Amino acid sequence: MIELKNISHFYEQNEQVLHDISLKIDEGEFLFLSGESGSGKSTLLSILSTLLKPSEGELFLDKTNVNDIQNIDIFRSDKIGFVFQFHFLINYLNVYENIALAAKDEFKQDINSLLEKLGILELSKRYPNEISGGQRQRVALARSLINKPKIIFADEPTGSLDSKNSKIVYELLKNASDAGTTVVVASHDAAIEKYATRTIKMIDGKI
C-alpha cells in the first residue's frame, strides 16, 4: 500500500532531518509513528502524505510512484484523508457545510450517517465557535473520512485534546483501520500505541 525507498530529506544543505529511510506499510495497517520533537516524525509524515517532496528517494502510494502522478490534487482527493492537530474548520460554515465542502457529490448523502457514528449529528447546524475542541476535532475527522479514502494521515491529532476526547479520536481511527483504511499517525502521545497494529520510533531522523 505504502512504500518508501531510501528516503532522505534536507531542509538546508547542512541540515539533514531524515536519513535513508526504507519502509513498507500494509493495507489496513494502523501505524503509530512515535518520537520526540525534532526526531523527524512530522517531516516523514509530510513526505508520506505527499505534502512534502523528499530530497532523495522514492515514495509509492497504492502501487503508484508519486513522481509519476500527473495531478497530485486529484490523487489526494481520491485516496487520502488528512487529520491535523488543529482542525482548520471554516468558521463561517456550520458543521454540515464544512464536511459538505470537502465531500464528493456521491458521498454527500453519507454526511449525516457519518456524523451520527461520530456522535455529533446534533451539532450539524452549529458553527465551529459554538462547539468544544473535542467536537471540532471529530468534525475534522468526519471531513477526512467522508470520501472513504484508502489512507488517512494524522499529525498530532489529539495534541490539543484532553484524555477523554483523545480516546474517542483514537477509537475512530482504529475503526477506520479495522474497516480496511490504512492509518498513519505521528504523535508523541504513547497512549495511542495500544490502538496501533505497529509502532515505529523515530530518533534523529532514523527509524
> The domain spanning residue 81 has which CATH number?
3.40.50.300
Whether residue 48 lies inside any domain: the answer is: no
For the chain, give the mean pLDDT.
90
The alpha-helical segments, DSSP class H, found in the chain are 41-48, 72-79, 95-102, 111-117, 133-145, 163-178
Q: Determine the pLDDT at residue 164.
A: 82
How confident is the model over 135-184, as pLDDT tens digits? 888 899 899 989 989 999 998 888 777 888 788 889 889 999 999 999 99
Residue 70 amino acid letter? Q
Question: Residue 135 and residue 105: Cα distance in Å, rounded?
Answer: 25
Question: Residue 159 and residue 85: Cα distance in Å, rounded?
Answer: 6
Whether residue 89 lies inside any domain: the answer is: yes
Longest CA span, the chain: 52
The pTM score is 0.88
Q: Are 147 and 37 in contact (CB under 8 A)?
A: no
Q: Determine the pLDDT at residue 188.
A: 86
Whether residue 106 lies inside any domain: the answer is: yes
Whether residue 167 lies inside any domain: the answer is: yes
| pLDDT band at 121; cut points 50, 70, 90 | very high
Q: What is the mean pLDDT of residues 39-66?
A: 90
Q: What is the mean pLDDT of residues 36-65?
A: 90
The domain tally of the chain equals 1
Label residue 177 left, alpha or beta by phi (over 0 means left) and psi (-120 to 50 means alpha). Answer: alpha
pLDDT of residue 85 exceeding 80: no
Q: Which domain holds residue 191?
A: 27-39+70-200
15 vs 14, higher pLDDT: 15
Whether residue 134 lies inside any domain: the answer is: yes
Number of C-beta neighbours around residue 84 at 10 A: 15
Angle, helices 133-145 vs 95-102, to 10°: value is 30
Q: What is the mean pLDDT of residues 82-86?
A: 80
